[in-house]
Amino acid sequence: MTVGLVVVSHSRALARAAVELAQEMIRGQGVPIHIAAGLDETTFGTDAAAIAEAISTADQGHGVVVLMDIGSAVLSAELALEFVAEAIRDRAVLSPAPLIEGLVVAAVAAAGGANAAEVAAEANSALAAKQSQLGPLPPVRSAHTNDGPATTVEAAVLGSFALAPNGLHARPAARLVDEVRRHDAVFEARNLTADSAWVSAGSLTALLSLDARGGDQLELRVSGPEAATGLRNILALARRAFDETADR
Amino acid sequence: MNSFDVGTLSAWIREFARLISDNTSYLTELDAAIGDADHGINMTRGMNSVLAKLDETVPEDPAALCKQTAGALISSVGGASGPLYGTFFLRMAAALGSQTSVDAATLAAALRAGVDGVMQRGHAEPHDKTMVDALGPAVDAFDEALSGTATLSDALRRAADAAAEGRDATEGWIARKGRASYLGERSAGHIDPGAASAAMLIASLSSVTAGG
């Protein structure tokens, strides 16, 4: 009944350690986690054939979520999907989540009986907790030395989160607008998954125009005096699934 | 020479392996400038694995040759070139079907399918400073030459020239894909290592037909 997980990394040692870390969170609960990492014990690299085998092994009929590190790991995982049986391919998800954060969260979700889409959505929002904990980055100072003194760019803070299965429908969008209006800052949003343009997050109709569905990644860009706290509060709101309790 | 059989195509793969091996440090130097300094090493390891397989199993037709080349590269290169060159040869194999003798038009279609596969796999467009910038102009030049009166070997020579020009053009560009793209403007001023090895792929195809 459990979604399988596959860890793809350039480094076999890194993948093993990541799996150990995740296993610690779900001790005793049987989530099939398989690795396809490194060309051998010590040579860095990824191998699409090995990834395909890991996906096929991890699949127990309920789908697989694949977490990857960088670069060729992604290309090899995409190619690997061409090598697995169609049924397995159709229920496999390649997760854009950061490897470690995503794997730990995905393991917990899978152990709890979540389906593949839910596990992938959880993994996708894994970075939000860290971002919210650490707050915004310092403002970026441009360092052009030949055109006068350095200037400080108006600091915009960015954050993103994955939407719950119901997407950004009217109620959560209204809740978001409400939260935006409590802060002295300019909030913009875009649907990262659909690569949409930025729209005002203070406008309900603009937000609904993003056509943001469950699992889509919504990005926020906030500037102004209360940008940092505003973003933090909205990420917290998103983590509470916009205070929607029913119909999940 | 009007067509290729599996023997000629095997000679192409062996010649490509020789070029890669002779230029290991050149490719790695290019990659050291804008990437992670492993392209030459990775490709040499990959082509050594291709050669080992070729020595062990004589493929029965051109598609089988492309398939076993793809399999060896996918499992031994390690870096992004593995899935990219692997996809190139897999798409070629699919386009070649079960033909034992590959004429110019079939070869052109198979190379085109390979390049399309690389673009799709790498989400790369022309001018992104990737192997596509050598392969794309090569297949365009090949098609154009074949639509005129060029012989197969003439057309391949033009394809190899176009690939070399495409490779050289990447020097001035800013990378938009792969690890080189992390460097932004600093990636300009260096030839893309993937375009350099891809130009060798086409050059080796041309050289096995030279004079034919």
Give this complex's ipTM: 0.86
Q: Smallest Cα–Cα separation from A176: which of A207, A147, A148, A149? A: A207
Give the pLDDT band of residue A248 (cuts 50, 70, 90). very low
> In sequence order, which residues have a C-beta less than 8 Å from that of residue B1 and are 6 or more positions away?
B8, B151, B152, B153, B209, B212
CA distance B78 to chain A (A): 4
A162: enclosing H helix or E strand: strand A156-162
pTM: 0.74
The average pLDDT across A181-201 equals 89
- Contact check, Cβ <8 Å, A79/B178: no
Contacts of B78 in chain A (CB under 8 A): 10, 39, 43-47, 72
- Contact check, Cβ <8 Å, A46/B82: yes
Tokens found for residue A159: 């954050």
**In degrees, to the nearest 5, what angle opens at C-alpha A189 toward C-alphas A188 and A195?**
130
A78 and chain B in contact, CB less than 8 A: yes
CA distance A134 to A152: 22
pLDDT score, position A207: 85
In this structure, chain A runs to a length of 248
Nearest chain B alpha carbon to A80: B83
* Partner B, chain A 199-228, Cβ-Cβ below 8 Å: none
- Contact check, Cβ <8 Å, A79/B87: yes
Q: How do residues B125-134 score in pLDDT, each as one tens digit?
A: 999 999 999 9
Between chain A and chain B, the number of residue pairs with CB atoms below 8 A apart is: 55
CA distance A92 to A164: 19
pLDDT averaged over every residue in chain B:
94
Catalytic member of A10, A34, A144, A169: A10
Nearest chain B alpha carbon to A38: B78
- Contact check, Cβ <8 Å, B82/A71: no
Question: Domains (ranges, CATH) in chain B?
Answer: 3-209 (1.25.40.340)
B6: enclosing H helix or E strand: helix B6-22
Give the pLDDT band of residue A149 (cuts 50, 70, 90). very low
Look up A62 and say whether it is catalytic: no
